């Protein structure tokens, strides 16, 4: 047996060892802190906090705290180990983004998502404004003889609500987002599809949202159903479009072992469609470097010279549609995909792309979370299209200033383009010399027989902020032939016509 001195020595060694281990547990993770910029966490799919400028302000200290919590060494290893142990030992999903429902179905765990399921955050004022925006968009597109369709992608919680956690209850006295939106849209002449009934019927025969993988979206079976509904509506307008059918695709089941946007081990086979004979050309790079917009995420452009129609489709998308260009690019002359968050640029894209159809899609969950934060539908603006046949050359002259030209240069009333210039959008930005905002004008460009609006919502917002009236003419270079381009303005109050200028369009080597 050890004597008192031996016990004291043993305790001392244990205490020192404990202190050393404790200090190493603190020091080693700190030494491996991730200090790289623009880092994204794979475990919770978020951008890690950047190191702030050091001050003694409270919010700065909070940022430092967030920086340490996000970037401390071995953070993801520790979280993954904790998640895996809870899953294997207790069948409990401890994850920042997802949760288990009934029978191990995985659902999104966002606070707004859960409240939407409970009917606790149906923002009727925002939804009213959104429906007004859709109606105003249809009115504008109708004037240009362009078809418009709104499509809502339901959440998994809406189609597979029987598997949602039973501990989360629904306030049946309140309306859901989809029910309220449907009720409001019924009172408008907006063409729309909210495919809840169709997906509920389809799930009796096949899985339309995966049990675990990609809990925030439908799977390929659900997507095929949704896009077929869009296809049916478009072909009512344009019967020459070839129908969307599974026969054009190969189907395989791919085994996945982790969630789509977060590290969490699963085992599931998911359906994947691939186009058998894609004859479209990817033209995304042609305009992508020169486009204006809030975000260029999900921007795609396909051209197919072999299809037997002349239809051009413009689709405003979010992540629900972000990977489904394969359902369109082999069936239309041209198809453009633009992120839905470019609300204020819709008119800009219409005048640039010349679509025959505009499809506007939103995910159900976005209506309760992201849209109220990023969109302002309360004061939306569309410049009215020009249809009059008044002689512009006889109109009174108005003073203006050209601020910038891109893709061409102005010299001696000539718009000169170089043949070797790879700038594929010709852009003319200008400023009217008027008493703005007391007097407002709509500015137009006439290119051949086509009239283009030179204003759109984002430009109108910029004009109001600056107290000056801006205009911007944007034309794809491939549409610019030698000839003339005329700029003119119309007084929005008196409807009086004013000439700005006429330029000769020429090319030089």
pLDDT single digits (tens) 316-338: 999 999 789 999 999 999 999 99
Number of domains in the chain: 3
Q: What does 270-282 look like in DSSP terms, one character per residue?
A: EEEEEESS---EE
Residue 136 lies in a domain: yes
- Residue range 344-355, pLDDT digits in tens: 999 999 999 999
- Residue range 165-207, pLDDT digits in tens: 999 999 999 999 999 999 999 999 999 999 999 999 999 999 9
Residue 341's closest CA among 313, 363, 357? Answer: 363
**Over 90: is that where the pLDDT of 361 sits?**
yes
Instruction: Give the dihedral sign, CA 440/446/452/455.
Output: negative
Residue 414 lies in a domain: yes
Looking only at the bridges linking them, the beta strands covering 414-418 and 409-411 are antiparallel
Residue 169's closest CA among 114, 224, 220? Answer: 114
For residue 450, the enclosing domain spans 392-508
Residue 487 lies in a domain: yes
Counting Cβ atoms within 10 Å, is residue 397 exposed (0-12), middle (13-18) or buried (19+)?
A: exposed
The last residue of a domain, from among 90, 109, 140: 90
CATH classification at residue 503: 2.60.40.10
Residue 387 lies in a domain: no
Alpha carbon distance 261, 128 (integer Å): 32
* Residues in a beta bridge with 405: 428
Residues 431, 400 within the same domain: yes
Residue 117 lies in a domain: no
pLDDT, average across residues 2-22 = 69
Phi-psi region of 22 (alpha: psi -120 to 50; beta: other; left: phi over 0): alpha
Going by pLDDT thresholds of 50, 70 and 90, the confidence category of residue 12 is: confident
Residues 396, 369 within the same domain: no
Tokens of 268: 């599931």
- Residue range 252-304, pLDDT digits in tens: 999 999 886 667 788 999 999 999 999 999 999 999 999 999 999 899 999 99
Residue 236 lies in a domain: yes
Residues 311, 453 within the same domain: no
pLDDT, average across residues 457-480 = 96
pLDDT, average across residues 456-464 = 96
In contact, 496 and 374? CB cutoff 8 Å: no
Residue 228 lies in a domain: yes
Report the alpha-carbon angle 475-481-487, nearest 5.
55
Residues 354, 412 within the same domain: no
- Residue range 196-245, pLDDT digits in tens: 999 999 999 999 999 999 999 999 999 999 999 999 999 999 999 999 99
User: Model-level pTM?
Assistant: 0.84
Residues 31, 154 within the same domain: no
In contact, 108 and 44? CB cutoff 8 Å: no
Determine the length of the chain. 509
């Amino acid at each position: 047996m050890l004597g008192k001195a031996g016990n004291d020595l043993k305790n001392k060694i244990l205490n020192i060892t404990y202190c050393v281990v404790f200090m190493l547990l603190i020091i080693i993770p700190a030494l491996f802190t991730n200090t790289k910029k623009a880092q994204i966490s794979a475990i919770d799919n978020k951008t890690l906090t950047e190191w702030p400028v050091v001050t003694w302000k409270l919010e700065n200290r909070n940022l430092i705290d967030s920086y340490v919590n996000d970037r401390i060494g071995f953070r993801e290893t520790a979280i993954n180990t904790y998640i895996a142990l809870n899953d294997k030992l207790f069948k409990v999903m401890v994850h920042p983004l997802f949760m288990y429902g009934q029978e191990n179905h995985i659902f999104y765990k966002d606070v707004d998502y859960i409240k939407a399921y409970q009917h606790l955050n149906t923002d009727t004022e925002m939804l009213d404004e959104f429906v007004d925006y859709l109606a105003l968009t249809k009115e504008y597109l109708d004037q240009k003889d362009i078809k418009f369709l709104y499509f809502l992608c339901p959440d998994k919680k809406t189609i597979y609500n029987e598997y949602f956690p039973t501990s989360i209850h629904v306030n049946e006295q309140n309306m859901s987002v989809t029910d309220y939106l449907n009720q409001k849209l019924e009172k408008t002449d907006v063409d729309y599809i909210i495919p809840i009934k169709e997906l509920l019927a389809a799930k009796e025969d096949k899985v339309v949202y995966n049990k675990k993988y990609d809990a925030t979206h439908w799977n390929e079976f659900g997507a095929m159903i949704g896009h077929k509904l869009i296809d049916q509506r478009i072909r009512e307008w344009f019967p020459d479009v070839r129908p969307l059918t599974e026969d054009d695709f190969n189907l395989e089941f791919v085994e996945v072992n982790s969630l789509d946007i977060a590290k969490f081990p699963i085992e599931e086979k998911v359906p994947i469609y691939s186009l058998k004979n894609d004859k479209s050309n990817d033209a995304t790079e042609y305009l992508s470097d020169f486009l204006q917009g809030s975000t260029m995420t999900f921007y795609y452009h396909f051209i197919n010279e072999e299809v037997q129609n002349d239809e051009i489709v413009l689709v405003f998308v979010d992540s629900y549609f972000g990977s489904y260009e394969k359902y369109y690019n082999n069936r239309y002359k041209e198809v453009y995909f633009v992120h839905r968050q470019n609300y204020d640029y819709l008119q800009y894209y219409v005048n640039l792309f010349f679509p025959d159809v505009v499809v506007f899609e939103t995910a159900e969950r976005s209506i309760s979370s992201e849209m109220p934060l990023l969109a302002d539908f309360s004061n939306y603006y569309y410049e009215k299209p020009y249809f009059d046949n008044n002689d512009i050359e006889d109109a009174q002259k108005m003073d203006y200033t050209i601020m910038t030209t891109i893709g061409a240069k102005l010299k001696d009333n000539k718009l000169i383009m170089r043949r070797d210039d790879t700038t594929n959008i010709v852009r003319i930005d200008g400023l009217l010399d008027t008493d703005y905002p007391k007097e407002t004008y709509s500015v137009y460009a006439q290119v051949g027989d086509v009239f283009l609006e030179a204003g759109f919502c984002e430009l109108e917002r910029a004009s109001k902020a600056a107290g000056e009236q801006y205009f911007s003419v944007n034309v794809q270079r491939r549409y610019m032939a030698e000839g003339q381009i005329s700029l003119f303005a119309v007084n929005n109050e008196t409807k009086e016509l004013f000439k700005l200028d006429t330029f000769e369009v020429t090319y030089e080597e």
